[in-house]
Structure 1
Amino acid sequence: MGSQLEGAMESLINVFHHYSGKEGDKYKLSKKELKELLQSELGCFLETQKDAGAVEKIMQDLDENGDGEVDFQEFVVLVAALTVACNTFFWENA
């Protein structure tokens, strides 16, 4: 049995690959795949967003190489940023 952190890393990898490759490159998320992932896995986060173009803005921010898709490294940037934001929120409200 691995550690909690190893389990979290495995979960992150599995979530990404569950949604990637349904269309196009199997190692990248298209905008449609990213939207599905965000809605399914981070639904509460999106519910608090008042901006209807939130997914589009997230996609633009993440897609550093401008290929119109989000690879795993770009995806991890999103997860890291959200984790830092959640840490601050939960730590301050604990």
Structure 2
Amino acid sequence: MVSQLEKSMEGLIKVFHNYSSKEGDKYKLSKVELKSLLQGELSDFLAASKDPMVVEQMMSDLDVNCDGEVDFQEFVVLVAALTVACNEFFVESVKN
């Protein structure tokens, strides 16, 4: 039987490759693909940001090797950071 964590990991991989396979290198997200992923999967996060340059800033922050694309390892950093932030919010809301 597949665990909940294994299903989550599989889902993360599938989401990444669903968006990364649309143009160019099918194993990396272009800026257009990253924006599409953020709009499709994290629309509330994007809506909460009032910065019109949020995608460009995220691309710059995530693209550690400066190749103009976000690979899976760089993408996982985004997911991990957002997950940590959500957990911190959850913990604080439970305390109050």
Please give the TM-score of this superposition, normalised by the length of structure 1: 0.98
Residue of structure 2 equivalent to 1:23: 23
Residue of structure 2 equivalent to 1:63: 63
| Identity of matched residues, % | 71
4+ long deviations beyond 3 Å: none
Cα RMSD (Å) of the superposition? Answer: 0.6
- 1:38-60: per-residue Cα shift (whole Å, max 9, x none)? 00100000000010000000000
Amino acid at match of 1:68: G
Cα displacement (A) at 1:21: 2.1
Query: SS where residue 74 of structure 2 aligns?
Result: helix
Equivalent runs, 1:1-94 vs 2, <5 Å: 1-94=1-94
Q: How many residues align?
A: 94
- 1:41-89: per-residue Cα shift (whole Å, max 9, x none)? 0000000001000000000000000000000000000000000000000
Please give the TM-score of this superposition, normalised by the length of structure 2: 0.96
- Stretches of structure 1 that go unaligned for 5 or more consecutive residues are none
